[in-house]
Amino acid sequence: MTMNLKQLSESLGLSPTTVSRALNGYPEVSEQTRLRVMRAARDADYRPDPRAKGLATGRALAIGHVLPTSVRTEIVNPVFADFLSGAGDVYASAGYDMILRMVANTEEEATYDALAKRRAVDGVIVHAPRVDEPRIDQLLRLGLPFVVHGQCQRAQEDYPWVDTNNRRAFEAATERLIALGHHRIALLNGDERMDFARRRRAGHLDALSAAGLTQDDSLLFNAEMTEAYGYETARSLLESAAPPTAFLTSALTTAFGVRRAADELGLRLGEHIALITHDDDLSYLSNGRPGAPVFAATRSSVRAAGRLAAELLMDIIAHPGSAPRTHMLEAEQLDGPSLCPGPHHAP
Amino acid sequence: MTMNLKQLSESLGLSPTTVSRALNGYPEVSEQTRLRVMRAARDADYRPDPRAKGLATGRALAIGHVLPTSVRTEIVNPVFADFLSGAGDVYASAGYDMILRMVANTEEEATYDALAKRRAVDGVIVHAPRVDEPRIDQLLRLGLPFVVHGQCQRAQEDYPWVDTNNRRAFEAATERLIALGHHRIALLNGDERMDFARRRRAGHLDALSAAGLTQDDSLLFNAEMTEAYGYETARSLLESAAPPTAFLTSALTTAFGVRRAADELGLRLGEHIALITHDDDLSYLSNGRPGAPVFAATRSSVRAAGRLAAELLMDIIAHPGSAPRTHMLEAEQLDGPSLCPGPHHAP
DNA sequence: TTGAAAGCGCTAACAG
DNA sequence: CTGTTAGCGCTTTCAA
């Protein structure tokens, strides 16, 4: 039904080899022949069979993303989705496919083994690294090219990664809250088994001590970023004897929970409570007042991270053996609506 | 590096042919031989090369999901993510890969052509069908097996689809609001170029006329489901001369917007305003009161839809030519917290 | 019940 | 610069 290389070459009176070389940009083909071949290929709408190509070359022309059940909730995370979206664009323009595998937690290791063994993919992106991330050693051992979205606790030069500067973003956010007069700031952090959450906490604490503020451990929380987490934590804090005047958190859902708690207690955001989030649609949280900028990993910057990671991976695949490169992206400073004119009437 | 069929067969003293047959369940292999082969394959951790298999059989062992830029925001939609998650499980256990392609709008048609021509996938899932969905005719013409997630305006028996009963869900939700005493209900619908939004509107209007209520066109809205859409619409409605006593909408983000508008006007949900949503984490919206159930396409039911669609597709691939089958899923009726004790003090 | 041989569509030595 | 020859790893006639 569809034209193959042999038929194309016959129609041109050339050998399949020559046509293949012309199409793949080999230098030993005369410019005239190449042009003739390219034209014919375009006219016939010829498309090489990726399987045959893969069989012959050993390459898969595909990048894998493995999602074990434990981080399956990640898939509904807009950060994850935007990252994929950015990476997908790069794959598409490089002629690679993106393959997603949903696996049980117990099968994750075997999946990487299988992907590497059968060369089902040319490389993988590792998502949601934990503090001590075993997949990195596995992938290094397998020799399967990879890029990690996020860092973990090991020498930074050991492996390629792309990350947002979480430490700095939370440090800067805390500095801003302090500058606005807040002394008691609650941190509603993510699950601290994840490395990014550790870094965020570190940034927050750094800013506190730099300002000479004592850190109150009873204001530090970490859990999966649900709405209920934000609501319950904020509610109980706000009703306690020594409530915070500001909340620092990252996910929109959790921020919503904080907002709901404040609403129910008759507090208005921007009057009694301040929020800083790394999400970008800040209008959700404000009372529409103009004011202080917030720091954000916006949707577009997350897409950029996805693009960067994909490009880095393509590069690793094209030039194997080179020293691991890394990319640290600084969170954008957004001039969103004010979330915090400062602590008035702290209850 | 990794064992192939030839090596495996040599180690068994058999021909590749026999080993292939044994592994693929051909009946003409003696049970004894089959057992021996299976054991050896398991011991050696033999895995057939999917590319070679694909080349030889013409099958790809992969299912495609094409995401044109126009529905790229879909990817951050939890419904989309949960659907993929459910489908991915089925693919995995059937030995299929899931391929995601991000393409420009102008390339969508060509992408399906290419996928079909080169048999890069054995089938595709069509997402976010529009009212008049051109992809269906294209895919029928190409002979590429597919399942649509959602319906469109054409004979239901013409093509295979899996959908949630949006019409009935919104009809039931409206019935409930009416039973609670609401007469003026605002519908904040999705983009009505999408078929599901049309069906939701129809269900809503059916319930209104069945109750003998006059429909007020000024209470019918449709747009992309953003928070700002919910906020601005609700805000202006609530400040108008004849405000609604209830809002009916579907996406959490839009519902949040409605909530924010109500908050800013000093209205409390559950006292003056009712919301029904098809999202499942209803605690977001309530004031924590017990009460009326709401109708919902929960995250788990969306995953079930994904599974169903994938199974249907595998079935179509296995038995080509059979009449298109369809699945209508009823939205679950959840006993969530009350969103609407009824219309008091409507301003 | 098993095996030999041909081929899926492409690339990659090796010649010329 | 171009063509010939072998495969890549698997399935599938066709014979035995």
Burial degree of A314 (CB within 10 A; 0-12, 13-18, 19+): buried
Q: pLDDT at residue B92 above 90?
A: no
Q: Does B205 touch chain A (CB under 8 A)?
A: no
Pick left, alpha or beta for residue A151 (phi over 0 → left; psi -120 to 50 → alpha; otherwise beta).
Answer: beta
Q: pLDDT at residue A153 above 70?
A: yes
Give the mean model confidence (pLDDT) for residues A51-63.
89
Give the mean model confidence (pLDDT) for residues A94-111.
90
Q: pLDDT at residue A171 above 80?
A: yes
Question: B117 vs A54: CB contact, 8 Å cut-off?
Answer: no
Q: Which chain B residues are within 8 Å of A299, Cβ to Cβ?
A: 76
Identify whether residues A153 and A134 lie together within a single domain: yes
| Closest nucleotide to B19: CA versus each C1' | C2
Identify whether residues A14 and A31 lie together within a single domain: yes
Q: pLDDT at residue B346 above 60?
A: no
Q: How confident is the model at residue B332 (pLDDT cuts 50, 70, 90)?
A: low
Burial degree of B247 (CB within 10 A; 0-12, 13-18, 19+): buried
Q: Strand C: which nucleotides have any atom within 7 A of a protein Cβ?
A: 1-5, 7-13
Q: What percent of chain B has pLDDT over 90?
A: 32
Question: In Å, what is the separation between the CA of B265 and the C1' of D5?
Answer: 82
3-state helix, strand, coil in chain B (%, to 5): 50, 15, 35
Give the mean model confidence (pLDDT) for residues B276-294.
44
Q: How confident is the model at residue B336 (pLDDT cuts 50, 70, 90)?
A: very low
Question: In Å, what is the separation between the CA of A15 and the C1' of D4?
Answer: 10
Q: What is the pLDDT of residue A132?
A: 87
Tokens 């020799």 belong to A143
B173-184 tens-digit pLDDT: 888 888 878 889
Contact by Cβ (8 Å): A273, A245: yes
Identify whether residues B289 and B180 lie together within a single domain: yes
Q: How confident is the model at residue A325 (pLDDT cuts 50, 70, 90)?
A: very high
Identify whether residues B199 and B142 lie together within a single domain: no
Q: What is the pLDDT of residue A169?
A: 83
Residue A67: partners with Cβ closer than 8 Å, 6 or more residues away: A74, A75, A100, A101, A102, A103, A127, B85, B88
**Residue in B88, B120, B256 closest to A100 by CB:** B88
Q: Which chain B residues are within 8 Å of A81, Cβ to Cβ?
A: 75-76, 81
CA torsion B198-B203-B204-B206 (nearest 10°) is 120
Identify whether residues B117 and B211 lie together within a single domain: no
Quote the mean pLDDT of chain A: 82
Q: What is the pLDDT of residue B341?
A: 40
Of B310, B304, B58, B298, the residue nearest B160 (C-alpha): B310
* Top-confidence range, A26-35, A217-226, B27-36, B268-277: A217-226
Q: What is the pLDDT of residue B344?
A: 38
Q: pLDDT at residue B59 above 70?
A: yes
Q: What percent of chain B has pLDDT over 70?
A: 84
Q: What is the pLDDT of residue B248?
A: 86
CATH number for the domain that contains residue A125: 3.40.50.2300
Of A296, A264, A269, the residue nearest A280 (C-alpha): A296
Is residue B292 assigned to a domain?
yes
Identify whether residues A206 and A259 lie together within a single domain: yes
Question: In Å, what is the separation between the CA of A17 and the C1' of D5?
Answer: 11
Give the mean model confidence (pLDDT) for residues B316-322.
86
CATH number for the domain that contains residue A16: 1.10.260
Q: Helices (DSSP H) in A24-64: which residue ranges?
A: 31-43, 50-57
Q: How confident is the model at residue B285 (pLDDT cuts 50, 70, 90)?
A: very low
Q: pLDDT at residue A293 above 60?
A: no
Is residue A338 assigned to a domain?
no
Burial letters for A91-110: b for 16+ Cβ neighbours within 10 Å, e otherwise?
Answer: bbeeebbbbbbbbeeebbee
Question: In Å, what is the separation between the CA of B17 and the C1' of D14?
Answer: 13
Q: pLDDT at residue A207 above 90?
A: yes
Is residue B146 assigned to a domain?
yes
Q: What is the pLDDT of residue A239?
A: 93
**A71-75, A95-99, A162-166: least confident range:** A71-75
CA–CA separation, B154 vs B237, rounded Å? 35
Q: What is the pLDDT of residue A305?
A: 92
Is residue B347 assigned to a domain?
no
CA–CA separation, B237 vs B265, rounded Å? 11
**CB interface of B with A, residues 228-247, below 8 Å:** 228, 231
Q: pLDDT at residue A203 above 80?
A: yes
Parent domain of A32:
5-44
Identify whether residues A239 and A308 lie together within a single domain: no
**CB interface of B with A, residues 306-325, below 8 Å:** none
Q: What is the pLDDT of residue A341?
A: 39
Identify whether residues B160 and B309 lie together within a single domain: yes
Q: What is the pLDDT of residue A82?
A: 84
Give the mean model confidence (pLDDT) for residues A291-312.
73
Question: B263 vs A263: CB contact, 8 Å cut-off?
Answer: yes
Identify whether residues A90 and A137 lie together within a single domain: yes
Is residue A337 assigned to a domain?
no
| B263 vs B245, higher pLDDT | B245
Give the mean model confidence (pLDDT) for residues B25-44.
88
Give the mean model confidence (pLDDT) for residues A16-24.
88
Q: Does B265 touch chain A (CB under 8 A)?
A: no
Identify whether residues A86 and A190 lie together within a single domain: no
Q: Does A120 touch chain B (CB under 8 A)?
A: yes
Quote the mean pLDDT of chain B: 82
Is residue A335 assigned to a domain?
no
Identify whether residues B25 and B92 lie together within a single domain: no
**Residue in B103, B227, B281 closest to A227 by CB:** B281
Q: Does A224 touch chain B (CB under 8 A)?
A: no
Is residue B55 assigned to a domain?
no
Q: Does A118 touch chain B (CB under 8 A)?
A: yes
Pull the structure tokens for residue A158. 């050991």
CA–CA separation, A243 vs A184, rounded Å? 8
Q: What is the pLDDT of residue A318?
A: 86
Identify whether residues A98 and A176 lie together within a single domain: no
Q: What is the pLDDT of residue A296?
A: 52
B207-227 tens-digit pLDDT: 999 999 998 999 999 998 877
Helix (H) or strand (E) holding B84: helix B78-94
Tokens 């459910």 belong to B86
Pull the structure tokens for residue A7. 């038929």
What's the domain count of chain A? 3
Give the mean model confidence (pLDDT) for residues A274-293.
46
Is residue B54 assigned to a domain?
no
